[in-house]
Amino acid sequence: MEKQPRVRRTRTAAIMLAAVAAAGTVATIAAMPAGPAPADAPATQFSAARGVELLEQLGPDPRTPGSAAHARARAQLVAELDALGWETEVHESVGAFDEDPAAVSMATVANVVATLPGTDPTGTVILAAHYDSVPGSPGAADDGLGIAVALESARALTAGAAPRNDVMVLLTDAEEPGLLGAEAFVHDRAEQLGPAVLVNLEARGAGGSPASVRLTEPNGMLLDLLAHTPRPVVDSFSDALFALLPNDTDLTRFAAGGIAGFDTAITGAGAYYHSPLDDLEHLSAASLQEMGAGTLAFARVAAGADLTRLPDGGADVVTSLPLGLLRVPEGLELPLAALTVLLALAAVARARRRREVGLPRVALGAATAAASLPIVATAAVGLWQAALAVDPAQASAVVREPYLPLLYQVGVVALALGPILGARAVLRPVMPDGELGLGALVTLALAGLGLALALPGAAFVLVVAVLPAAVAALIGAGLPARARAVVLGLGLLPAAVMFFPAVVGMFDVGLGTGGPLAAVFVAVVALLALPLADAAGLVRPEREAPSRRRVLVPAALLAVAVVATAAGLVANGEGRTDPRQEMLSYSLDADSGEAMWTSWSPSGSAWSEQLLPSPSSDLADQPWLGGGAIANGPATAADLPAPEVAVVSDRDTGTHRELVLEVTSARGAPAIGLWVAAGSADVVSATVQGRDLPTVAPGPASDGDGGPWDFGFLLRGVQQTRVTLVLDGRAPEAELRVVDLTHELEVVPGFEGPPHGRVLVTPNVYVYRTVQL
């Protein structure tokens, strides 16, 4: 006789499932930025409208170091802070990102530093942002957003009561080429600062909700302060994830200097990042308001705190809930993960004792759930890659995102739900009693334990979601159907209110990076919801559902994914969005007269393919490009003068050769570089613009083919620099390659720019020559 399902369907379960979904939706809406405050808002409040007015005064021109727009912006910022009555100065220095002696990024920097003295300071509260932008971009979001937040917060602080602690606005220079202004500030002043807490204001997009990530350790007092801000978004998962990504911010330099703090950033509308469309028209005023209100609240509470307690704050793991932050000491993450596994296994054992499930079928359910998570992540990657294969030019040049991602996001959600419900439908005949839900609970509990062991911090959000569901499964196994549905619904509630907003947050990160995680988050909630869905009758028993009807919902979800992807291709089609992006640079060898186009991110359009017929070449003779394979193609040679090298002195010390050089850009470029071919000389020591740089330890000479390059730098912000090189005496002749850099491709003969409806992202013009000394 066919076994009948023991899961009792009840209308209460459907009501609870709807209530949980509604709670998750409300939590998602509540996490979205509120409307911007008007320009006539009270003086002590943050106003996005006033912040936008500040950005309008900076103008639309890119603020690349050494440019006229860069200098004008600095003067404007100094004037704004002076007008507030803050003690304002310009910190001039030389910053260097010198982890690789063969590719040192440098800049002469001018950081804007303004201080509001406290009445009885225990330390300094720092509001940090950077005022430079990448070539070709107005930088309204990156980092005009941070500038507006810092200055409007400074104005509101000035309008209120005098703070206890000193408050500093630090607007760093040359962040884009390597966090150089922050490095110089830490190099020169960190030791003099005393106790300090810093919020670094950033953007990797033009919209979305700001989130606080990458808290320095110990983070206990930082979390105490953030808990007093409106709607804080802090999650140890994001912190752990960020540590795995190649992205960096000024916080890296500040933390290295012993300054406690965290990043606050927006990542939505990422297609506008580092592009000519990062302008005021596309910047979300609501995002500006949200970040500004939170930053101002943080500054006020930190300005009244005892900052000498910063080192004693302890270290917590944390996640955000609608009512505030949920945090525990980081030492409890692993025990809580282990407890969750025990509770999940106890729930299985209790259901087995009540003869509600069979252990082999629970094991099959666990294996199915374990397989579904990588499947949904792979499906999310596949959806976006398939869309790119059809139309690669729809992706932005820097973060490879479409302007209109919503339809693709719908497709990802459908693909995340499809395998879960498809597995439920297929397995229903062999496991009708809820074994899949219990097996999934065990799998997710084990996943939390594995994360706690492998990537501390990343597990907490999963544990917080799964632990209540495990408790509910354990308690519910002995209750009547209606009471059981209520308990299961309550156990599912934490997962919904955390993961619904988290899905939106991951989509803000982007389809390529965040899409797979968003799909996994959707799958986690779906797996935890299976027992309640069974009880609600959303998955019908085998005896009531013919096989062709069992697959109806999964098939419909697959159809939704296909239709959504097709609609996304139409919505993001040529001419239907903001201008598409092209990334292009130009290099001229002044010795040979040969020139080429290069691009790290060719769009795949007919225009870029015509200019860049070689999709992947190793241009080791141009080390400023960073090495590796890069798309390129021949270009018309421009009549541009090469940088000049003058020998100031050439001294033989008996064991070494000391060269003092003046390198000058004959075309007035604000960036100059020099590389020494490893096969011609070993650089024992080097000083550039007064800054000592690391070198590679001398070794056997290479074959002299122009590479690799054991020493080199690119210095921004100057048209001339003095370089002192001490060379190993075994190589009396040195082969140098000098280069300068501008950003106006119009100097190339016959170049008319990209076709109508397209814009150029981060354009560069390199002119170089080889010098034998």
Q: How many CA atoms lie within 13 A of 100 on its CB side?
A: 15
- The residue type found at 567 is A
Looking at residues 472-501, what average pLDDT do you find?
92
Work out the pLDDT band at 448, boundaries 50, 70, 90. Answer: very high
d(CA 535, CA 545) in angstroms, rounded, equals 16
Looking at residues 703-718, what average pLDDT do you find?
76
How many beta carbons lie within 10 A of that of residue 397, not counting itself?
Answer: 26
Q: What is the pLDDT of residue 213?
A: 87
Q: What is the pLDDT of residue 308?
A: 95
Work out the pLDDT band at 1, boundaries 50, 70, 90. Answer: very low
What is the residue whose two structure tokens read 């390659």? 737
Question: Who's near 761: CB < 8 A, 6+ residues apart?
Answer: 136, 137, 274, 275, 276, 396, 397, 398, 581, 582, 583, 601
* Phi/psi of residue 296, nearest 5 degrees: -60, -45
Question: Who's near 528: CB < 8 A, 6+ residues apart?
Answer: 437, 440, 441, 444, 465, 466, 469, 492, 495
Q: What is the pLDDT of residue 8?
A: 60
Sign of CA dihedral 424, 425, 430, 433: positive
d(CA 177, CA 67) in angstroms, rounded, equals 14
Considering only CA atoms, which of 97, 244, 112 is closest in space to residue 176?
Answer: 97
Q: How many residues does the chain have?
A: 773
Q: What is the pLDDT of residue 643?
A: 97
pLDDT at position 689 over 50:
yes
Percent of all residues in the chain with a pLDDT value above 90, rounded to a whole number: 79
Question: Who's near 165: CB < 8 A, 6+ residues apart?
Answer: 118, 121, 122, 123, 124, 125, 302, 303, 304, 305, 307
Stated as kind and residue range, the H or E segment containing 652 is strand 644-652
CA torsion angle 245 248 251 255 (round to 10): 70
d(CA 332, CA 462) in angstroms, rounded, equals 14
74 pairs with which residues across the strands?
none
Considering only CA atoms, which of 699, 569, 624 is closest in space to residue 103?
Answer: 624
The helix, strand and coil proportions of the chain, stated in percent and rounded to the nearest 5, come to: 45, 20, 35
Give the right CATH number for 49-312 from 3.40.630.10, 3.10.129.10, 2.40.50.140, 3.30.390.50: 3.40.630.10
Considering only CA atoms, which of 418, 430, 425, 444 is closest in space to residue 366?
Answer: 444
- The residue type found at 280 is L
d(CA 167, CA 579) in angstroms, rounded, equals 41
Stated as kind and residue range, the H or E segment containing 594 is strand 594-599
CA torsion angle 466 467 471 477 (round to 10): 30
Considering only CA atoms, which of 165, 158, 126 is closest in space to residue 257?
Answer: 126
Angle formed by the axes of helices 144-159 and 48-58, nearest 10°: 120
594 pairs with which residues across the strands?
589
| Per-residue pLDDT tens digits for 643-674 | 999 999 998 888 889 999 999 999 999 999 99
Work out the pLDDT band at 586, boundaries 50, 70, 90. Answer: very high
Work out the pLDDT band at 478, boundaries 50, 70, 90. Answer: confident
pLDDT at position 184 over 90:
yes
What is the residue whose two structure tokens read 């016959």? 750
What is the second-level CATH architecture of the domain 579-773?
Answer: Sandwich (2.60)
Q: What is the pLDDT of residue 9?
A: 65
Question: Who's near 109: CB < 8 A, 6+ residues apart?
Answer: 65, 91, 92, 93, 94, 95, 172, 173, 174, 180, 181, 184, 717
Looking at residues 329-345, what average pLDDT do you find?
96
d(CA 524, CA 478) in angstroms, rounded, equals 25
Angle formed by the axes of helices 481-509 and 514-536, nearest 10°: 170
| Per-residue pLDDT tens digits for 38-75 | 999 999 999 999 999 999 999 999 999 999 999 999 99
| Per-residue pLDDT tens digits for 354-365 | 888 889 999 999
Query: Would you give the DSSP letter of residue 311?
Result: G
As separate numbers, helices (DSSP H) first and strands (DSSP E) second, the chain gives 19, 22
Domain ranges of the chain: 11-30+330-571, 49-312, 579-773
